[in-house]
Amino acid sequence: MSLFGHRVTALEQGRRLDALLGVCEGIDSRSQAVRLIEGGLVRVNDITTTAKRRVVLEGDELSYVVEAEAPRALTGEDIPLDIRYEDKDLIVLSKQAGLVCHPAQGHESGTLVNALIAHCGYANLALLQGDDRPGIVHRLDKDTSGLMLVAKSDTAGYLLADEIRVKAIDRRYLTLVHGTIASDTGLVDAPIARGEVDRLRMVVSKAPNARASVTAFTVLERFDAGRFDEGYTLLECKLYTGRTHQIRVHMAYTGHPCVGDPLYGMTRRPKAQLGLTRQFLHSWFLNFAHPIIGEELEFFDPLPADLYDAFESIAGESLGVTEAGKRILPLAAQMKREAAHRLSADGS
């Protein structure tokens, strides 16, 4: 590893941190700069920051640690894609659990990016997130399933990023959490930063580098406590920001971690996890205006089989469906049909 420093000049004032860092000594690309920032390896005026969009000022002192990186050759791989919509500018797909979005340390291949290159070709994917993240507009955790946006043209990519920034894209998730939540609705407004001790964990923090994070939730159904658990609550969560692990961190912060979450929720008894080895979190609803043609697009994605089975296993413990649940849970029949279809297909 090597330590580098840079003092921001008058001409550089007003630039984004990742853009400036990408042309600094020891750094080969903007995408490498983003990885350093997100990894907590960049300090501004001796304070660690993970805000890649931070605007730098004249006189700011940047310091950063760079570890030599081997060149990463991106290739297409024959990985199935569940595409729900596609045109020349974008793709809407449902990402399966277990699929990493883009290459990173420990996951150099077998990612969504590799699948997209095979499907579209590298030259036909937007590069707004860096040359090693073609097509990526926003991400889902490896073991979070559901709807995602992919940009094929640079114009569409930048416009979609702007829609996300101004909260014009409606992204909603279904999650089953431990415990029963009394209020039918709630808002968690708690800044998130990377953990100082365990860098894999994100934490609610008051540190200067913590980033504003807001999650709204609506209760759909509650379930009574059993011998091995403290009850459950099925929620629909809406993101107003898009931080790493945001819903998982916010729900754990409220004392109601996602069922099956191996990082934030496994302090509960094993049987309380309902047989899940990944978090019960699914991106099930997406609504946005097409960035080029302006048409409103809306997508629903039923629960995958493993999450539906966990949900169905506690149906006999239901304490009742809320008014919001009455609007949303009629899709449960569709979820069941979809799950049965997938299980049948897997067995054929």
Per-residue pLDDT tens for 1-20?
Answer: 578 899 999 888 999 999 89
CB atoms within 10 A of CB 154: 13
Q: Among all chains, which residue has been given the structure tokens 């700011």? A: 60
**H or E element that contains 112:** helix 112-120
pLDDT tens column, 168-202: 999 999 999 999 999 999 999 999 998 877 777 89
Q: What is the pLDDT of residues 204-248, one digit of tens each?
A: 999 888 899 999 999 999 999 998 899 999 999 999 998 999 999
- The answer to whether 253 touches 246, Cβ cutoff 8 Å, is no
Domains with residue ranges and CATH for the chain? 2-66 (3.10.290.10), 82-165 (3.30.2350.10), 170-347 (3.30.2350.10)
| Cα 183 from chain centroid (whole Å) | 26
Per-residue pLDDT tens digits for 20-67: 998 888 887 788 888 899 888 999 999 999 999 999 999 999 999 886
Question: What single string gives the DSSP state of each residue in 145-170?
Answer: EEEEEEESSHHHHHHHHHHHHTT-SE
Q: Are strands 145-151 and 281-289 parallel, antiparallel or unpaired?
A: parallel
What's the token pair of residue 55?
């605007």
Residue 234: left (phi > 0), alpha (psi -120 to 50), or beta?
beta
- Predicted structure pTM score: 0.77
- Cα 187 to its chain centre, rounded Å, is 19
Structure-token pair, residue 144: 């979070």
For the annotated catalytic residues, the residue numbers are 141
d(CA 52, CA 49): 8
Contact status, residue 21 vs residue 27, Cβ threshold 8 Å: yes
Average pLDDT over residues 262-274: 85
How is 39-81 classified by DSSP, letter by letter?
TT-EEETTEE---TTPBP-TT-EEEEEE---------------
